[in-house]
Amino acid sequence: MPQWATFLGLTGVVLALLLVLSHLTQSAFTDGTDDTDGTDAARRDASTDAEPRRSADAPLEPASADDAEPSPADAVRERASDDGEWRSHDGHGRSGSVSEHGSSGGERPAERSATPPSAAGTESDGEPNRDASDPIASAREVDRPEPAGPGVDPDSLSTGMVLANVAFSQGLFALLLLGAAIYTAIPASALGVAFSLSYLESGLFLGTVAGLAFYVANELAAAGATRFGFDHDEALRELLSPDSATGWLVLLVGVLPIIAGFEELLFRAALIGVPAAGYGVSPWLLAVGSSIAFALGHGMQGSVGIVVTGLLGFGLAAVYIVTGSLLVVVVAHYLVNALEFVVHEGLGLEWAETLEG
């Protein structure tokens, strides 16, 4: 006897975990980007303030030596003669001598090994004095590396790390759902699964046709949004893009099938097929709710990406309801993702960009 309620409860737990993980990931990446931008801006401002400002009416000739203010080093010390006297100048002609008595008989006076503390320009603890109004000192303070914030800098993550994390998390969630379906005795037909050759053939064919159509529609929708000033975030896709043949093999053969299989199992089979089969709920009503959840799970793509993904999710839900096949939507979902990576990141083609202008 199928335990419909138990399965739906476990499905809700998996969905909640997925949405929380997606939100935390989005927040971490956003905070890391903001922190980096803020630090760079502060450094730029400090370096601008540190540059000397010259009035437009100021002469181009360099200032004479008499007009220059004495530096601290000029007022520290000066060896006046071989008899060991030290002469200190304040820059205005006044001087004072400090004599050091040597031994008689022409012996050399003892060398003075220390600089007078009052003229050394240092604090008692050995740290140099810093004038708070000194722009150079302020710039140096800003240039010091700041402690790492709570955000995650996308540049610090390798593609392999991100791919491994996605494959592990989504694969784990898929195993939890499959285990829940087996434990609660959910029939395969309620999930849209059949074990026959015709099911395999029709699923591959219809899934390929639907995938190509959804890919074109997805590209046109994104380009149209960009044309009207609503750009979408492609940082996640760029972060997942490999830079080697092995990386592309892992992405296309390992990671993307796991993503497509898990998301279709959750958002179409578990959230549409099971409630419709177990409780007679309208699948079209369930399609709306699952598409909203599907869109929220892709918050990393920005507001425009959420809308476009929501529309794609409803299209996949419609295909699932009409065909009753989980394989069809898995293949279609995989093709949409794979074509986006290959066309944009692998081949560098932007065939829909004419619509963006």
Taking the CA atoms of 52, 35, 228 and 346 in sequence, report the sign of the dihedral they define: positive
Q: Is the pLDDT of residue 286 over 90?
A: yes
> What pLDDT, on the 0 to 100 scale, is given for residue 112?
46
CA distances to 14, 81, 164 from 52, in Å: 60, 38, 51
Rounded mean pLDDT, 288-296: 96
Q: Is the pLDDT of residue 4 over 50?
A: yes
At a CB cut-off of 8 Å and minimum separation 6, what does 353 contact? 223
Rounded mean pLDDT, 104-110: 45
Domain-embedded: residue 57 = no
**Which pLDDT tens digit goes with each residue over 166-212?**
899 999 999 999 999 999 999 999 999 999 999 999 999 999 999 99
Q: Is the pLDDT of residue 69 over 90?
A: no
Structural domain including 324 reads 160-355
Tell me which residue has tokens 């993550």: 157
Average pLDDT score over the chain? 76
How many domains does the chain contain in total? 1
Domain-embedded: residue 67 = no
Domain-embedded: residue 17 = no
Tell me which residue has tokens 């099938």: 257
Burial of 267 (0-12, 13-18, 19+ CB in 10 A): buried
pLDDT > 70 in the chain, percent: 62
> What pLDDT, on the 0 to 100 scale, is given for residue 101?
44
pTM for this prediction: 0.68
CB 43 within 8 A of CB 318: no
Range of weakest confidence among 17-21, 190-194, 236-240, 284-288: 236-240
Indicate the length of the chain as a whole number. 357
Q: Is the pLDDT of residue 111 over 50?
A: no
Does 289 or 92 have the greater pLDDT score? 289
> What pLDDT, on the 0 to 100 scale, is given for residue 134?
54
CB 161 within 8 A of CB 250: no
Domain-embedded: residue 310 = yes
Which two structure tokens, joined as six digits, stand for 331? 């293949």
Tell me which residue has tokens 């071989």: 82
Does 193 or 117 have the greater pLDDT score? 193
Domain-embedded: residue 105 = no
Domain-embedded: residue 84 = no
Domain-embedded: residue 21 = no
> What pLDDT, on the 0 to 100 scale, is given for residue 353?
73
> What pLDDT, on the 0 to 100 scale, is given for residue 99?
41
